[in-house]
Amino acid sequence: MLSFGVDIPLVQLLGFTLHRMENGESELHYEAQPEHLNSFAVTHGGASMTLLDVTMATAARSETPNMGVVTIEMKTSFMQPASGPLVAKGKLLHRTATMAFTEATIFDAQGRMCSHATGTFKYVRRLPVSGSSTHALQTIATD
């Protein structure tokens, strides 16, 4: 299992694991816990969207791991319920100096597509915040 390179408390809480982050691609694994399910006993859409968001962000960061990214927009389509062990695969489609255009898909254990998303991310610098263990983000001003 790989490291995201930064501490992401929500990712730790949900239990996402990173298996690939290179060459504009990413792969994360996730199995929803009972508290992550909806009333139909399948992975909640919000958990799936978070997995897609993190997968796309990781693909965007794969070529510049020292940079951060923030989500600008995201569109998600749900094709079928997601349950059991899930694999999310992301791809950096295009990037500029300040923006990343990405996509990600979640697959179930049988390899069926459960959901798909496209997203746009803004590259940001991580700056230490004095007196705090967290980091501030600074938008890159060059294009």
Q: How many CB atoms lie within 10 A of CB 124?
A: 17
Distance from the Cα of residue 91 to its chain's centroid = 11
Q: What is the pLDDT of residues 98-136, one digit of tens each?
A: 999 999 999 999 999 999 999 999 999 876 655 544 555
The C-alpha atoms of residue 30 and residue 116 are separated, in whole angstroms, by: 15
Distance from the Cα of residue 73 to its chain's centroid = 13
DSSP lists the bridge partners of residue 29 as 17, 87
Q: What is the pLDDT of residues 47-103, one digit of tens each?
A: 999 999 999 999 999 999 889 999 999 999 999 999 999 999 999 999 999 999 999
Report all structural domains of the chain as residue ranges with CATH numbers, in order of start: 9-139 (3.10.129.10)
The C-alpha atoms of residue 134 and residue 137 are separated, in whole angstroms, by: 10
State the pTM of this model: 0.89
